Amino acid sequence: CGHCKKLAPEYEKAASILSQNDPPIVLAKVDANEEANKEIATEFEISDGIVAYLKKQSGPASAEIKSVEDASSLIDDKKIVIVGVFPRLSGEEYVNFTSLAEKLRSDYEFGHTLDAKLLPRGESSVTGPVVRLLKPFDELFVDFQDFHVDALENFVQESSVPTVTIFNNDPSNHPFVIKFFNNKNAKAMLFLNFSSEVADSLKSKYREVAEQYKGEGISFLIGDLEASQGAFQYFGLKEEQVPVIIIQKNDGQKYLKANLEADQIAPWIKEYKDGNVPPHRKSEPIPEANNEPVKVVVADSLQDIVFNSGKNVLIEFYAPWCGHCKKLAPILDEVAVSYESDADVIIAKIDATANDIPSDTFDVKGYPTLYFNSASGKVLDYDGDRTKEDIINFIEKNRDKTTPQSHQR
């Protein structure tokens, strides 16, 4: 299966990360084509899912609704459905709607009809052309009449995200969580224990704020502590900080307030919007002793050691579970030892899974990633062989020298 082969490396990466979780989370794979595994494939409706997907892709992108039964089979209270209401099934508006349906058919269900009375929600007397988006949250339906394809697509994307997305263990919420994280807005996330005494007041105030900032470039999610362990690990949060709100912008900047009270939500969001909240940075503690040849850098010491030290710094971005990083470690130790008598060169490493990395300076997409920052501030990525000799040659070629230096090779 081509899609399986495409998924394999990302699945392996996720498995490596999750295996380090406490307790470990195991990702497994099953060859559904093997005779011995047919029962498992049947239990999880693998073939049914594939058949349903292919049927959806091979049929018309939008289904015509001619009866109440047609509407009932397409529209339910768990999913988003987009229906075009038209006085006739022709013309520019109808053509643009079918183009939209073709473009977004993998993500949404589409229908079209000549009679709005057949639809379960919304004004039944409209003759169109109008697009009605029916959804299982907020106002339950929204009408839209701008039939430019770009405008229609923006309308669908914006209207299909709840005012407040719920992140819990209910699988019916998961598609909306994915949409939340895929949208282009800044993302506000409030994590709390849904069974706590303060949950209702926090949820109520949070929704009020979300309504207030609708259309202002910020989306809102509320997550139950029980379902949010992965998010806590990613953001470096701790349970004692709950209730905690964190905002992440598209540039990676994060803003955080821990131990939040309901009446603090609105003022804090306003302070953030006004630019008065300092960014939060995930960082391990700065080590009290840093005496090994390869210096340990954390997010809170990165600026001082790499950028402000006036040194030539080679830094490795690594992950604790990464096999290639473990293989490189003794080589970097040797490089560092060879520069111990050279005060102008530092060999360093940073755990990129436990510390925020400035993405505007370092493009870390895999591990290990090596960068070199010269004493004058010239940043270069290292893509040579991972041998002691090649790394030293690279440093010597690109370092800023004030006086001739020597080191042991």
Distances from the Cα of 185 to the Cαs of 175, 247, 313, 318, in angstroms?
Answer: 17, 10, 36, 30
Are 260 and 229 a contacting pair, CB within 8 Å? no
Residue 109 sits at the vertex; the CA angle it makes with 103 and 110, to the nearest 5 degrees, is 70
Please give the structure tokens belonging to residue 51: 């058949």
| Selection from 70, 65, 72 nearest residue 120 by Cα | 72
Does residue 13 carry a catalytic annotation?
no
Question: Which amino acid type is present at position 107?
Answer: D
Does residue 213 carry a catalytic annotation?
no
**C-alpha–C-alpha distance, residues 397 and 388, integer Å:** 14
Q: Which residue in the list 325, 332, 335, 352 is annotated as catalytic?
A: 325
| Selection from 18, 36, 140, 1 nearest residue 79 by Cα | 140
Report strand pairing: 379-382 vs 345-351: unpaired
Distances from the Cα of 210 to the Cαs of 117, 266, 276, in angstroms?
Answer: 33, 9, 19
Q: Which residue in the list 222, 322, 352, 357 is annotated as catalytic?
A: 322
The interaxial angle of helices 323-338 and 388-398, nearest 10 deg, is: 60
Does residue 1 carry a catalytic annotation?
yes
Q: Which residues touch 215 (CB under 8 Å, ≥6 apart)?
A: none
Are 111 and 73 a contacting pair, CB within 8 Å? no
CB atoms within 10 A of CB 263: 10
Does residue 91 carry a catalytic annotation?
no
* Residue positions annotated with a catalytic role: 1, 4, 322, 325
